[in-house]
């Protein structure tokens, strides 16, 4: 039986210790984006989530590189309305803020009359989903493989995976898994012929519904770049189709560009 994998171990009600699985490719002792985003989403939903409300938008500003030290989550309910709930979470390390998240929840309701435009879309799913640890990543040129290095090209990219849990003492919810998957917007939009040279400073994930199961896909929609600044958008999908959007802004980081052909963590990207 395989050992459980998770990004953080809970030390106290609001204190968390990063594990080896939270480590980033960007540098020694840096935490990866999905871990940071996932922790903020987990804490906010745990404190303020309600069944009758959908967590419709999560915006996370990544102020600086989070590191492998105890992380404290501070939360606040900003507005408790009949139809809209707003809450915030600040993650700090050694007394310094490393990320701040804002969650907007809407009360579920009956849809209005009429029919709206929907972008035609067809999402491919890997023919045989790998049950072992690893990833599924694809591009228009190569189709699906299990190594990011295979897709260092200039084609459209997509992923379809199950995330690991954020915290050791509780399974991640559909919302948390969607938020963690959406952080991959930076990967599927910024991965090019020489790897990833842009580092995102934020994530916004907007959801019309929650995913139907643990398997969640992400497909690049757009990538615009000028003067070392990039904007990327991607669509979240599951076995039933599209259900949300991920958006990131990123800044050029050529000094620490990640070339997956020389990957320091091959077991995580294969």
Of 255 and 188, the structure prediction assigns the larger pLDDT to: 188
Q: What is the 3-state secondary structure (H, E, C) of the chain?
A: CCCCCEEEEECCCCEEEECHHHECCCCCCEECHHHHHHHHHHHHHHHHCCCCEEEEEEEEEECCCCECCCEEEEEEEEEECCCEEEEEEEEEECCEEEEEEEEEEEECCCCCCCCCCCCCCCCCCCCCCCCCCCCCEEECCCEEECCHHHHCCCCCEEEEECCCEEECCECCCHHHHHHHHHCCHHHHHHEECCEECEEECEEEEEECCCCCCCCEEEEEEEEEEECCEEEEEEEEEECCEEEEEEEEEEEECHHHCECHHHCCCCCCCC
* pLDDT tens-digit map of 207-226: 999 999 999 999 999 999 99
The pLDDT of residue 27 is 80
Residue extents of the structural domains in the chain = 7-108+129-262
* pLDDT tens-digit map of 134-187: 789 999 999 999 999 999 999 999 999 999 999 999 999 999 999 999 999 999
Of 254 and 3, the structure prediction assigns the larger pLDDT to: 254
The pLDDT of residue 128 is 77
The pLDDT of residue 270 is 40
Of 262 and 107, the structure prediction assigns the larger pLDDT to: 107
Q: Is the pLDDT of residue 130 over 70?
A: no
Question: How far does Cα 75 stand from its chain's mean position?
Answer: 20
Other beta carbons less than 10 A from residue 216's beta carbon = 25
The pLDDT of residue 267 is 53
- Region 116-141 average pLDDT: 84
Residue recorded with tokens 């560009």: 257
Percent of the chain beyond pLDDT 90? 86
The CATH number given to 7-108+129-262 is 2.40.160.210
The pLDDT of residue 1 is 47
- Region 96-110 average pLDDT: 98
The pLDDT of residue 263 is 67
Is residue 81 packed enough to be buried (19+ CB in 10 Å), middle (13-18) or exposed (0-12)? exposed
């Amino acid at each position: 039986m395989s050992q459980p994998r998770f990004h953080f171990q809970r030390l106290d009600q609001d204190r968390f210790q990063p594990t080896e699985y939270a480590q980033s490719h960007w540098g020694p002792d840096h935490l990866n984006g999905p871990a940071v985003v996932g922790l903020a989403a987990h804490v906010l939903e745990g404190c303020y989530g309600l069944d009758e409300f959908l967590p419709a938008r999560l915006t996370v500003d990544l102020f600086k590189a989070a590191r492998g030290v105890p992380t404290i989550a501070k939360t606040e309910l900003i507005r408790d309305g009949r139809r809209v709930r707003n809450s915030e979470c600040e993650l700090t390390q050694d007394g310094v803020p490393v990320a701040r998240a804002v969650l907007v929840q809407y009360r579920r309701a009956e849809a209005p009359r009429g029919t709206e435009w929907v972008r035609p879309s067809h999402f491919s799913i890997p023919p045989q989903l790998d049950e072992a640890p690893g990833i599924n990543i694809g591009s228009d040129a190569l189709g699906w493989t299990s190594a990011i290095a295979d897709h260092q090209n200039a084609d459209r990219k997509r992923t379809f995976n199950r995330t690991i849990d954020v915290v050791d003492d509780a399974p991640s919810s559909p919302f948390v898994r969607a938020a963690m998957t959406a952080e991959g917007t930076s990967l599927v939009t910024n991965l090019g012929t020489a790897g990833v040279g842009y580092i995102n400073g934020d994530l916004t994930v907007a959801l019309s519904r929650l995913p139907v199961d643990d398997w969640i896909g992400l497909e690049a929609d757009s990538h615009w770049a000028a003067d070392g600044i990039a904007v990327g958008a991607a669509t979240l999908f599951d076995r039933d189709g599209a259900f949300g959007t991920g958006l990131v802004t990123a800044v050029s980081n050529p000094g620490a560009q990640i070339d997956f052909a020389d990957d320091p963590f091959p077991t995580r990207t294969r």
